[in-house]
Amino acid sequence: MCFSFASGYGDAEIFPAHLRGIPRIEKPFNESSVGNLIAKAAKREGA
């Protein structure tokens, strides 16, 4: 399953260890950064 995080937190340490490598963006984000995040998540999934 392809997923990613959009977060208001900049520190990856707040995520459980097994989720720290998941693509994420931090607030504030824009349309371009969301598109890039989706592309990274899809590439990671092999889509």
pLDDT for res 35: 92
% of the chain exceeding 90 in pLDDT: 17
Verdict on whether the full-model pTM lies above 0.85: no
Mean of the pLDDT values across residues 3-32?
85
Residues 28/9, Cβ–Cβ less than 8 Å: no
Overall average pLDDT of the 39-47 stretch: 78
pLDDT band at 19 (very low <50, low <70, confident <90, very high): confident
Strands (E) across the chain are located at 5-7, 24-26
Whether the CB-CB separation of 5 and 26 falls below 8 Å is answered with no
For all residues of the chain together, what is the average pLDDT?
Answer: 84
**CB proximity list for 35: less than 8 A, separation 6 or greater:** none
CB 13 within 8 A of CB 41: no
